[in-house]
Amino acid sequence: MNIKDIKLKFWPFDKGARVKLEWIGAPFRYEKKVVMPVYFSGKVNGYYTTEKLIVDWTVLTSLIIQHYYVDGVITKPILPNQTEEIIITINPNYVGYFEQNYSIRGTNHMETSQTFVIKYNGERFYLPLIEVLRGIVAPNAFLLNCLFEMNSFPLYFTEQYEPDLLRLHFISSYNAKYLKNEYLNHLVWLLMNNNVRKVYENMSSNFHFNNSIKFEWPFQTPIKLKLRVKKTATGYTVLNIKAMLEKELQISNLEITHPSLVRHEKSNEPRKRIILPLSNSGEYEADSTVDGRTNEFDEVVTENLTHDYIDTLLITRQRNVLSKQRNGIDANTKKTVKTDANNRSMGDIGGTNILRGLEVKALENTYVNGELAVFKEVLNELLRAHSVESVEAYIGELTDIGDRSFAFLDDGITPRKYIVAYINLRIGKEVALIEVERAGRSVSTLIITSLNSSSVRQYIEHLLNYIILSSGSWLKEGLMKWEKNLAIYKVKHTTGFKQSLLNTILAI
Looking at every residue in the chain, the average pLDDT score rounds to 83
Residue range 245-269, pLDDT digits in tens = 999 988 888 899 998 887 656 556 6
pLDDT confidence of residue 317? 79
pLDDT over threshold 50, residue 367: no
pLDDT confidence of residue 271? 64
pLDDT confidence of residue 70? 94
Q: Which helix (H) or strand (E) holds 231?
A: strand 223-231
- Contact by Cβ (8 Å): 466, 399: no
pLDDT over threshold 80, residue 410: no
The partner residues of 326 in beta bridges, in order of sequence, read: 267
pLDDT confidence of residue 369? 43
- Name which of 188, 309, 299, 183 is nearest 244 in CA terms: 309
Q: Determine whether 413 is exposed, middle or buried from the number of CB atoms within 10 Å of its CB (0-12, 13-18, 19+).
A: exposed
The partner residues of 39 in beta bridges, in order of sequence, read: 23, 52
Residue range 76-104, pLDDT digits in tens = 899 999 999 999 999 999 999 999 998 98
pLDDT over threshold 90, residue 195: yes
CA distances from 415 to 177, 234, 322, 412 (A): 20, 51, 20, 8
pLDDT over threshold 60, residue 374: yes
β-bridge pairing 6-8 and 28-30: unpaired
Q: For the chain, what percent of residues have pLDDT higher than 70? A: 81
pLDDT, average across residues 2-24: 88
Residue range 110-129, pLDDT digits in tens = 889 999 999 999 999 999 99
β-bridge pairing 18-24 and 68-70: antiparallel
9/343 Cα distance (integer angstroms): 9
- Name which of 503, 88, 3 is nearest 303 in CA terms: 3
Higher pLDDT, 309 or 233: 233
CA distances from 190 to 25, 231, 314, 420 (A): 25, 32, 17, 29
pLDDT confidence of residue 352? 53
pLDDT, average across residues 351-372: 52
Maximum mean pLDDT: which of 142-156, 186-200, 239-253, 441-455:
186-200
Give the DSSP letter of residue 74. Answer: T
pLDDT, average across residues 354-382: 59
pLDDT confidence of residue 4? 73
Q: With helix as H, strand as E and coil as C, how does 458-496 read?
A: HHHHHHHHHHHHCCCCCCHHHHHHHCCCEEEEEECCCCC
497/490 Cα distance (integer angstroms): 11
Which of helix, strand or coil describes residue 171?
Answer: coil
Instruction: For the chain, give the number of residues.
Output: 508
